[in-house]
Structure 1
């Protein structure tokens, strides 16, 4: 997993690279302009902070999530190696926001408002996703934020549990996707029939006109 973000207004010329979810106990190690954050229990890398990153990648025209090229990942790995860190960054090109088809939606055994869905996203088997959307039901097309997605507000989707039931992803609303004129209330974004093939990367440009003012 590799999720990168750049927010020069808040953090200056610093690229944040996230590989794994945060842990309770962390270890921080800095060599020159690179800081490694790791899990103190098992030494797995959680992420890196690359300071003065424009000296390595050039000027980044971004404010939020950055989608790096393979060449840029190679440059960062060279920087890690030069600073005695493992060159462990791997480019992740798998689309994280995809069209999903809800095969089934059943009541959560420990909740009166959550539903446990089986949602196809073009993989060998459907994802189990727990949803609190009041309009959730079977036989609809939706937008799924897969594990590793960064939402427009900066939230990262990791595998988790909701009241004891595993959930691998999130079925999202137009509001959560920051689509123009989306209703400002809870509810999954239900796509028109045959809007896009199941498993296809969600077309954010086309979606700008999904809601009318």
Structure 2
């Protein structure tokens, strides 16, 4: 897994890389040149890297928030890690993190009166189990799924998890969670038109148009 982000306001010219969730153990850091490795102090597992002066190494990299690195860019970063005596352990992740999902199955959570356990088909025919608390989620819907490795607009990262003992590998999103314009404040996921193809990458303009049409219909 490789999650990459830029935040010019808080960390100027710094690329933040995450390769594993935060550890429950104490974290440690080691800096060599412009590279800081963050790792678990007990088992030594790498959690991420901070790359300072990233514009010197990836001059074409732009954006704010989550950014997606090409295989060539990851190869350049691995060369930098090697040059600074770290392991070349970064692996490119080119799969889309926000996709249209199809809710194939839905059952009540065994330990909750408001959660549902869904089986959601996403890209490449994969099916994710996602626990959802939205009151309007239903079998047969087309929805927007934030997969493992997605960074939400508020900076939250989607990691593998569990809700009340049931595994949940992603999130079915509401319009406000995606920071879509004119998103309704009421609790509930954004349901996409039935004709929307499951597995396709999330399209911001398309989703914003759906929100606008739903608002107009109310």
Shorter-chain TM-score tier: over 0.9
| Pairs within 5 Å for 1:95-134 | 95-124=96-125, 126-134=127-135
| Match in the other structure for 1:52 | 53
SS of residue paired to 2:104: strand
1:156 aligns with 2:157: yes
For residues 21-75 of structure 1, give each alpha carbon's deviation from its aligned partner in whole angstroms, at most 9, with x where no partner exists: 0002212111111100112232221100001111111264322111222222121
| Match in the other structure for 1:83 | 84
| Match in the other structure for 1:176 | 177
SS of residue paired to 2:10: helix
For residues 177-200 of structure 1, give each alpha carbon's deviation from its aligned partner in whole angstroms, at most 9, with x where no partner exists: 1111121222111111112x2111
Extract unaligned runs of 5+ from structure 1.
none
Extract unaligned runs of 5+ from structure 2.
none
Instruction: Measure the CA separation in 2 of the matches of 1:156 and 1:123.
Output: 22
Instruction: Measure the CA separation in 1 of the matches of 2:108 and 2:146.
Output: 21
RMSD after superposition: 1.5
- Whether the 8 Å CA contact 2:176–2:183 is kept in 1: the answer is yes
Instruction: Measure the CA separation in 1 of the matches of 2:155 and 2:18.
Output: 12
CA shift, 1:94, in A, is 0.6
| Match in the other structure for 2:30 | 29
